[in-house]
């Protein structure tokens, strides 16, 4: 009887929201019945963290060695296969460096959010490597880049104007991903991850189809996801432009044969350029001054447009949506109650409190969408400036922002062949 | 902006070339940025190693809407029904076992509530029956949980099974959960048990 009272007390003490009701008393068994014991496994997350980070470091090390010392693609190909197998299919593609941007951003603004150490390491280690050696992470360690690289057969070059315009998309994607992560609405990068469904052999059909389309595209042009979508690639792009050690196509003098230019899947090798546009220096200066003047205008426009549309953007947030549902229900009192509305009432919440929390969400949406708009305006403006800067080049040069270190150009360079023969 | 020809002439005599200077400046700035983000992030990590790692269902908030069954990224949801025997009333007429409109109280499929036949029962003594969930058959639809909470003690409840959960960065069930019952909990409280409260 005492037991019964304590168990009833536990249930009552569980809070006003407790749905469990002790309608029937706990049986008094006379046959000596024993309650079954269940044990549930909690996986050793710490061990997996250590294994994942070690694999990441080893693969990054192999790629760096292959690019700078060995100067061959073989090990990078092997790393790509291992990465797709391990990080992709075996570990299910989670947590990945691309998605970790959101956790890091959230950790910086929300003190209640606790950042797991593996997520932090997956974010910072590839960036440190990019700062030292360029985008070695993209080369084959990232399962998404690796899977696109493995299916790549032929490279049709995309025109400079189109690829320039498309390369702004990662930044826009990053701006929106940060906006929705910082307002604790959604992790957009995780939601619209095109390859994770393929790795897990199941998931949202729309996203998987998108992933398949990307894979089909990457047969004909190198890494469409990395170049025109990946927000982490955008960060690595900026960092690796300023990297300390830079990969070279050949240690010998360039003979301007154009072979490496054709081999590059991501169009990161720039051909020699005479800069004979027939343009006087003043015209060039005038254009750059105009773009510099346009830059703040673009930032302002981006800020205003996104701030103005922030109430609509905020409708993705669950609190805002719940507020809409509840007010709609209270206006109509229809027979069918959405599960959200049912849960709202069963938890004993009231409309005033919901409205306050909705207003809080709207406020943070106003702030962060303004900042996202500024970022988008800044990136578009800088892209215009970059594309209008015309510099002469005497030989083939690597664009270190876009080079993913796949090492395909090494095999194409005839100077490297001579080197190999002499050895 | 000078033409390239002039540019080369201009910088030839100087100790540090202009483009090199900008390049070094860029490297220093990038390095400072990476170091700042690294240090900031490391500070956020410190001290909460085991905090908030596991997705779990708060059964007090759960309203058994059935979305756990369909929204998990796994082909069969990582959410399964669990049974708190110490809360169970061991009733013969179980709201989680029989359908509400059952014609006869026997184990014929049309009288069973569970769509996959994952609940079995065993006679203990008059008038008590022990109920067991076969978790290999359970798909996390929550029909039995709804029946048990509506007519019984609420001893059946849904929970995320850690050996099945992929531990996604963002749980896709949590995002569609109407009552916000799914959240990350710490290592110590992995498995929010109903009978171990």
B177: cis peptide before it, omega within 30°? no
List Cα–Cα distances, A24 to A8, A15, A28, B92, B149, in angstroms: 10, 19, 12, 12, 12
Reading chain A (423 residues) residue by residue, the pLDDT tens digits are 334 433 443 443 333 334 456 788 888 888 888 888 877 777 777 888 899 999 999 999 999 999 999 999 999 999 999 999 999 999 888 878 999 999 999 999 988 888 888 899 999 999 999 999 999 999 999 999 999 999 999 888 888 889 989 999 999 999 999 999 999 999 999 999 999 989 988 878 899 999 999 999 999 998 999 999 999 999 999 999 999 999 999 888 888 888 888 889 998 998 888 766 667 778 888 888 999 999 999 999 999 999 999 999 999 999 999 999 999 998 987 888 888 998 998 888 889 999 999 999 999 999 999 999 999 999 999 999 988 887 778 888 899 999 999 999 998 998 887 756 665
Does residue B1 register a pLDDT over 90?
no
Q: Suggest the residue from A14, A16, A38, A107 to mutate for an interface test with chain B (most B CBs closer than 10 A).
A: A38
For the four alpha carbons of B73, B74, B77 and B78, in that order, the dihedral sign comes to negative
Please check whether residue A253 is in contact with residue A415, taking contact to mean a CB–CB distance below 8 angstroms: yes
Please check whether residue B52 is in contact with residue B184, taking contact to mean a CB–CB distance below 8 angstroms: yes
Residue A111 makes CB contacts below 8 A (sequence gap 6+) with none
Distance between CA atoms of A399 and A419, rounded to whole angstroms?
Answer: 24
At A395, list the tokens.
């030989």
Strand partners, B55: B184
Distance between CA atoms of A209 and A348, rounded to whole angstroms?
Answer: 42
pLDDT of residue B126: 84
Nearest to B178 among A22, A29, A343 (CB): A343
Please check whether residue A180 is in contact with residue A116, taking contact to mean a CB–CB distance below 8 angstroms: no
Chain B CB contacts of A241 under 8 Å are 26, 30
Interchain contact A31–B (C-beta under 8 A): yes
State whether B63 and A203 contact (CB < 8 Å).
no
Count of Cβ atoms closer than 10 Å to residue A230 Cβ: 25
| Chain A residue with the nearest C-alpha to that of B159 | A40
Interchain contact A342–B (C-beta under 8 A): yes
Note the pLDDT tens digit of each residue in B41-68: 888 886 655 666 789 998 888 999 999 9
Closest CA to A241 of B29, B166, B66: B29
Interchain contact A346–B (C-beta under 8 A): yes
Distance between CA atoms of A21 and A28, rounded to whole angstroms?
Answer: 18
A112: cis peptide before it, omega within 30°? no
Count of Cβ atoms closer than 10 Å to residue A44 Cβ: 10
Nearest to A187 among B37, B169, B194 (CB): B169
pLDDT of residue A11: 41
pLDDT of residue B87: 86
Chain B CB contacts of A280 under 8 Å are none
Please check whether residue A245 is in contact with residue A67, taking contact to mean a CB–CB distance below 8 angstroms: no
pLDDT of residue A157: 87
At A106, list the tokens.
């959230």
Residue B120 makes CB contacts below 8 A (sequence gap 6+) with B131, B132, B134
Please check whether residue A189 is in contact with residue A95, taking contact to mean a CB–CB distance below 8 angstroms: no
Exposed/middle/buried for residue A24 (C-beta within 10 Å: 0-12, 13-18, 19+): middle
| Chain B residue with the nearest C-alpha to that of A276 | B3
Q: Establish, for the pair of chains A and B, how many residue pairs have beta carbons separated by less than 8 Å.
A: 193
Interchain contact A18–B (C-beta under 8 A): yes
Interchain contact B16–A (C-beta under 8 A): no
Band of residue B2 on the pLDDT scale cut at 50, 70, 90: very low
Q: Min CA distance, B4 vs chain A (Å)?
A: 7
Distance between CA atoms of B170 and A191, rounded to whole angstroms?
Answer: 8
pLDDT of residue A80: 96
At A304, list the tokens.
């205003």
Note the pLDDT tens digit of each residue in B70-110: 999 888 999 999 998 888 888 888 888 998 888 888 888 88
**Average pLDDT estimate for B168-190:** 87
Interchain contact A35–B (C-beta under 8 A): yes
Please check whether residue A58 is in contact with residue A139, taking contact to mean a CB–CB distance below 8 angstroms: no
Report ipTM for this prediction. Answer: 0.82
Q: What's the pTM?
A: 0.88
Please check whether residue B56 is in contact with residue B183, taking contact to mean a CB–CB distance below 8 angstroms: yes
Q: Suggest the residue from A114, A279, A386 to mutate for an interface test with chain B (most B CBs closer than 10 A).
A: A114
Q: In a 3-state reduction of DSSP, which class is residue B184? A: strand
Interchain contact A201–B (C-beta under 8 A): yes
Chain A CB contacts of B128 under 8 Å are 27, 29, 33
Distance between CA atoms of A41 and A64, rounded to whole angstroms?
Answer: 39
Nearest to A42 among B2, B162, B178 (CB): B162
Nearest to B170 among A26, A123, A187 (CB): A187
Q: In a 3-state reduction of DSSP, which class is residue B133? A: strand
Per residue, the 3-state secondary structure of chain A, as one string, reads: CHHHHHHHHHHHHCCCCCCCCCCCCCCCCCCCCCCCCCCCCCCCHHHHHHHHHHHHHHHHHHHHHHHHHHCCCHHHHHHHHHHHHHHHHHCCCCCCHHHHHHHHHHHHHCCCCCCCHHHHHHHHHHHHHHHHHCCHHHHHHCHHHHHHHHHCCCCCCCCHHHHHHHCCHHHHHHHHHHHHHHCCCCCHHHHCCCCHHHHCCCCCHHHHHHHHHHHHHHHHCCCHHHHHCCHHHHHHHHHHHCCCCCCCCCCCCCCCCCHHHHHCCCCCEECCECCCCCCCHHHHHHHHHHHHHHHHHHHHHHHHHHHHCHHHHHHHCHHHHHHHHHHHHHHHCCCCCCHHHHHHHHCCCCHHHHHHHHHHHHHHHHHHHHHHHHHHHHHHHHHHHHHHCCCCECCCEECCCCCCCCCHHHHHCHHHHHHHHHC
Distance between CA atoms of B95 and B150, rounded to whole angstroms?
Answer: 8
State whether B89 and A21 contact (CB < 8 Å).
no
Detail the DSSP E strand segments found in chain B.
54-57, 79-83, 119-125, 128-133, 156-160, 182-185
Question: How many CA atoms lie within 13 Å of A182's alpha carbon, on the beta-carbon side?
Answer: 20
| Chain A residue with the nearest C-alpha to that of B85 | A35
Distance between CA atoms of A140 and B173, rounded to whole angstroms?
Answer: 31
């Amino acid at each position: 009887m005492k037991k019964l009272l304590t168990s009833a007390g536990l249930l009552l003490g569980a809070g006003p929201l407790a749905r469990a009701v002790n309608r029937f008393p706990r049986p008094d068994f006379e046959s000596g019945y024993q309650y079954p014991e269940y044990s549930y496994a909690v996986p050793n997350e710490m061990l997996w963290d250590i294994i994942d980070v070690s694999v990441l470091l080893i693969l990054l090390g192999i790629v760096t060695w292959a690019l700078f010392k060995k100067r061959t693609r073989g090990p990078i190909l092997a790393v790509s296969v291992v990465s797709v197998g391990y990080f992709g299919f075996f570990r299910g593609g989670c947590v990945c460096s691309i998605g970790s941007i959101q956790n890091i951003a959230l950790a910086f603004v929300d003190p209640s959010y606790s950042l797991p150490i593996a997520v932090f390491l997956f974010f910072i280690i590839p960036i440190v490597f990019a700062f030292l050696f360029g985008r070695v992470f993209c080369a084959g360690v990232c399962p998404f880049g690796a899977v696109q690289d493995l299916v790549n057969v032929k490279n049709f070059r995309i025109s400079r104007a189109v690829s320039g315009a498309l390369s702004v998309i990662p930044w826009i994607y990053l701006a929106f991903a940060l906006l929705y992560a910082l307002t604790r609405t959604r992790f957009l990068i995780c939601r619209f991850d095109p390859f994770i469904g393929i790795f897990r052999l199941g998931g949202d059909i729309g996203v998987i189809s998108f992933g398949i389309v990307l894979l089909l595209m990457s047969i004909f042009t190198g890494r469409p996801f990395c170049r025109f979508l990946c927000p982490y690639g955008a960060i690595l792009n900026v960092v690796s432009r300023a990297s300390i050690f830079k990969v070279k196509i050949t240690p010998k003098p360039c003979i301007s044969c154009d072979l490496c230019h054709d081999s590059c899947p991501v169009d990161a090798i720039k051909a020699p350029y005479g800069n004979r546009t027939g343009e006087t220096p003043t015209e060039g200066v005038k254009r750059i001054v105009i773009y510099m003047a346009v830059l703040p205008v673009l930032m302002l426009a981006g800020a205003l447009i996104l701030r103005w549309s922030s109430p609509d953007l905020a409708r993705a947030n669950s609190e805002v949506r719940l507020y809409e549902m509840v007010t709609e229900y209270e206006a109509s009192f229809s027979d069918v109650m959405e599960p959200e509305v049912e849960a709202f009432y069963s938890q004993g919440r009231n409309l005033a409190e919901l409205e306050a929390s909705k207003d809080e969400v709207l406020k943070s949406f106003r702030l962060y969408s303004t900042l996202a708009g500024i970022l988008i305006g800044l990136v578009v403006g800088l892209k215009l400036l970059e594309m209008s800067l015309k510099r002469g080049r005497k030989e083939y040069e690597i664009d270190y922002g876009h080079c993913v270190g796949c090492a395909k150009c090494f095999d194409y360079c005839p100077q490297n062949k001579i080197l190999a023969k002499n050895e | 902006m000078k033409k390239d020809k002039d540019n080369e002439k201009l910088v030839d005599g100087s100790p540090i070339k202009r483009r090199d200077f900008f390049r070094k400046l860029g490297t220093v700035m990038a390095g400072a940025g990476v170091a700042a983000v690294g240090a900031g992030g490391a500070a956020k990590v410190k001290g909460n190693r085991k905090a908030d790692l596991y997705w779990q269902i708060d059964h007090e908030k759960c309203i058994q809407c059935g979305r756990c069954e369909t929204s998990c990224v796994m082909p069969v949801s990582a959410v399964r029904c669990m049974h708190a025997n110490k809360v169970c009333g061991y009733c013969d007429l179980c709201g989680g076992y029989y359908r509400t409109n059952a014609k006869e109280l026997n184990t014929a499929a049309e009288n069973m509530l569970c769509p996959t036949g994952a609940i079995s029962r065993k006679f203990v003594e008059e008038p008590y029956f022990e109920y067991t969930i076969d978790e290999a058959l359970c798909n996390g639809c929550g029909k039995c949980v709804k029946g048990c909470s509506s007519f019984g003690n609420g001893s059946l409840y849904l929970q995320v099974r850690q050996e099945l959960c992929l531990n996604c960065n963002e749980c896709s069930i949590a995002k569609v959960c109407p009552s916000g019952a799914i959240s990350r909990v710490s290592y110590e409280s992995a498995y929010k048990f109903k009978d171990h409260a």
